[in-house]
Structure 1
Amino acid sequence: MAQIIAIANQKGGVGKTTTAVNLAASLAVLKKRVLLVDMDSQGNATMGSGVQKNDLLYSVTDVLLGEIPIETAIHKSEVGYKILGSNRDLAGAELAIAELDGREFILREALKEIEHQFDFIIVDCAPSLSLITVNALAAVNGVIIPMQCEYYALEGLADLTQTIDKIQQALNPELEIVGVLRTMFDPRNALTRDVSDELEQYFGKKLYKTVIPRNVRLAEAPAHGLPIIYFEKSSKGAVAYLNFAAEMLKKTNVRKGNKA
Structure 2
Amino acid sequence: MLGPTSLPILAVVNQKGGVGKTTTAINLGAALAELGHPVLLVDLDPQANSTSGLGLNPSRARLTVYHLLTGECTVAEAAVPTGVPGLQLVPSQIDLAGAEIELASMSERETRLRKALATTPEGVELVIIDCPPSLGLLTLNALAAATQMLIPTQCEYFALEGLRHLFYTHQLVRSNLNPKLEIGGILMTQFDARTTLAWDVLNEVRRSHPADLLKTLIPRNVRISEAPSHGQPVTQYDPTCRGAAAYRELAHELMERSR
Shift of 1:116: 3.8
TM-score normalised over the length of structure 1: 0.95
Task: Give the number of aligned pairs.
Answer: 253
The SS at the match of 2:185 is strand
Greater helix share, 1 or 2? 1
Q: Post-superposition shift, 1:115?
A: 5.9
Which of the residues 37, 48, 53 maps onto 2:53?
48
Structure 2 CA distance for aligned equivalents of residues 155 and 223 of structure 1:
31
Alignment of 1:237-248 (within 5 A): 237-248=243-254
* Separation in 1, partners of 2:73, 2:34: 30
Runs of 5+ in structure 1 lacking a partner?
Answer: 254-260
Find the counterpart in structure 1 of residue 37 from structure 2. 32
Number of the residue aligned with 1:217: 223
Deviates more, 1:46-55 or 1:22-31: 46-55
SS in 2 for 1:36: strand
Match of 1:17 in 2: 22
Contact 2:76/2:121, CA 8 A, preserved across alignment: no
Q: Report the CA distance between 1:66 and its aligned residue.
A: 1.3
Q: Match of 2:110, SS?
A: helix
Which letter does structure 1 place at the counterpart of 2:7?
A: A
Q: Could you tell me which amino acid in structure 2 is paired with residue 243 of structure 1?
A: E
SS at match of 1:83: strand
Q: Which residue of 1 aligns with 2:3?
A: none
Across the aligned residues of Structure 1 and Structure 2, the Cα RMSD in angstroms comes to: 1.0
Sequence identity, in percent? Answer: 45
Local SS of the residue matching 1:151: coil
Secondary structure class of the residue paired with 2:41: strand
Which blocks of at least 5 consecutive residues in structure 2 are unaligned? 1-5
- SS of the residue corresponding to residue 6 of structure 1 reads strand
Q: Could you say which residue in structure 1 is the equivalent of 2:199?
A: 193
Q: CA-to-partner distance for each residue in 1:67-122, whole Å, 9 max, x for gaps?
A: 12221011111112000110101001111121111111110011112164311100
Q: Is the 8 Å Cα contact of residues 71 and 116 (structure 2) preserved in structure 1?
A: no
* Of 82, 87, 98, the match for 1:92: 98
Q: Does 2:89 align with 1:83?
A: yes
2:104 is the counterpart of 1:109: no
Query: Does 1:58 pair with 2:69?
Result: no
1:90-169 alignment runs, 5 A limit? 90-114=96-120, 116-169=122-175
Contact 1:8–1:16 under 8 Å retained in 2:
yes
Structure 1 residue ranges (4+ consecutive) displaced by more than 2 angstroms after TM superposition: none
